[in-house]
Structure 1
Amino acid sequence: MKKSLVVLLVLITLIISSCSNEEGSSSLNEEEQNLDETIEENNNGDEKEEEEEIENDNDSSEDELEGVSGGFETQTEDQLDLIIGDTGKFDTDLTTFEITLENAKIQQEVEGKKSELYGYIILDITVKNTGETSQPVQDLLYGFEVTDNLEMTGYQNYSESYESIDHMTGELGEDEKVSGQFITKIYEAEEYYFRLRSGITGSGASNEVIWTIPAEEAR
Structure 2
Amino acid sequence: MKKMVTLIVFMLFLAVSLIACNNEDENQNLDEEKQQETEGTDDKNKSEEKEEAKTSGNKNIKVEDQLDLVIGDTGTFDTTIGTYEMTIESAKLVGPEFEGIESQIDNFILVDLTIKNMSDDSLNLEDVMMSIQVTEDLDESGSHDSSHVFDSVNTFLGSINPGEEAKGQFIAEVYNSETYYFREDPGNVAAGGSNQVIWNIPAEEVK
Shorter-chain TM range is: 0.7 to 0.9
TM-score after normalising by structure 1: 0.80
Give the gaps of 5 or more residues in structure 2: none
CA distance in 2, matches of 1:209, 1:68: 18
For 2:108 and 2:37, locate their aligned partners in 1 and report how far apart those are by CA, in whole Å.
Answer: 63
**TM-score (norm: length of structure 2):** 0.85
Cα deviation code 1:37-80 (max 9, x no counterpart): 222232233233333433443454355445422x2242356251
Give 2:198's match in structure 1, choosing from 191, 199, 210: 210
Shift of 1:103: 1.9
Q: 2:123 corresponds to which residue?
A: 135
Aligned residues: 206
The answer (yes or no) to whether the contact 1:74–1:204 under 8 Å persists in 2 is no
- Equivalent residue of 1:168, what SS? coil
| Structure richer in strand, relative to its length | 2
RMSD: 2.4
Secondary structure of residue in 2 paired with 1:43 = helix
Percent of aligned pairs with the same amino acid: 30
Q: CA deviation at 1:115?
A: 1.0
Counterpart-to-counterpart distance in 2, 1:97 and 1:150: 23
Q: Which has the larger radius of gyration?
A: 1
Q: Counterpart of 1:99 in structure 2: which amino acid? A: M
Cα distance between partner residues in 2 of 1:148 and 1:66: 29
Structure number with higher helix proportion:
1
Q: 1:140 to 1:34 in 2, by over 3 A?
A: same
Selected match of 2:39 from 42, 50, 74: 50
Question: Aligned partners of 1:19 and 1:89: how far apart in 2?
Answer: 91
Distance 1:60-1:193 versus aligned 2 partners, 3 A rule? closer
Post-superposition shift, 1:205? 4.5
Flag the 1:29–1:56 CA change in 2: closer, same or farther, 3 A: same
Correspondence for 2:177: 189
